[in-house]
């Protein structure tokens, strides 16, 4: 029943994580592992593409909170893109858009990283 998938690819020096399906208390540990692996490999410029993410609960939001400080302390960031209105509403309800940059398209998020250089 676990309808959740994570795909990882590298694009223009940025790690892109694609989320698909439900991000809840059951599936959040998988995202946590993915972030841990990226940090271990010193990949701290991360874009999370949420195009196929159909659902998020606080367990999923907690994963973003758990890694953002560490990632930023290492001169990186977690940026988000392609969020459905439904998923955006949950982020918005908690004020997360104040803390995370959220872009309509993945390419804009990648460009923001590369413009900074």
Stretch of 10-18, 31-39, 41-49, 93-101 contacting other proteins, by CB under 8 A: 93-101
Write out the binding residues for other proteins, residues 1-20 only, by CB under 8 A: 1-3
Q: Which residue of 22, 91, 103, 113 would you call a contact of other proteins, by CB under 8 A?
A: 22
In DSSP notation, 3-41 reads -EEEEEEEETTEEEEEEEEEESTTTHHHHHHHHHHHHHT
Looking at the Cβ atoms of 12 and 62, the one nearer to other proteins is: 62
**Distance in angstroms between the alpha carbons of the first and the last residue of the chain:** 43
Q: Say how far apart CA 74 and CA 4 lie, in whole Å.
A: 29
CA 11 to chain centre: 15
| Cβ–Cβ under 8 Å, residues 97 and 65 | no
Q: Say how far apart CA 71 and CA 69 lie, in whole Å.
A: 5
The reply to whether 24 sits near other proteins by the rule CB under 8 A is: yes
Looking at the Cβ atoms of 96 and 111, the one nearer to other proteins is: 96
Per-position x/- string for 47-66, each x denoting binding to other proteins as judged by CB under 8 A, each - no binding = --------x-xxx-xx--xx
Name the residues that contact other proteins, by CB under 8 A.
1-3, 22, 24-26, 55, 57-59, 61-62, 65-66, 68-69, 86, 89-90, 93-96, 98-99
């Amino acid at each position: 029943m676990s309808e959740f998938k994570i795909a990882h690819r590298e694009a223009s020096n940025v790690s892109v994580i694609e989320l698909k399906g439900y991000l809840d208390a059951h599936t959040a540990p998988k995202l946590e592992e993915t972030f841990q692996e990226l940090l271990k490999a010193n990949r701290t410029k991360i874009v999370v593409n949420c195009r196929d993410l159909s659902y998020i609960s606080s367990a999923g939001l907690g994963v973003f909170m758990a890694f953002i400080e560490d990632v930023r302390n290492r001169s990186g960031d977690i940026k988000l893109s392609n969020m459905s209105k439904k998923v955006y509403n949950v982020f918005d309800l908690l004020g997360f858009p104040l803390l995370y940059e959220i872009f309509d398209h993945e390419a804009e998020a990648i460009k923001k990283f590369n413009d900074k250089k």
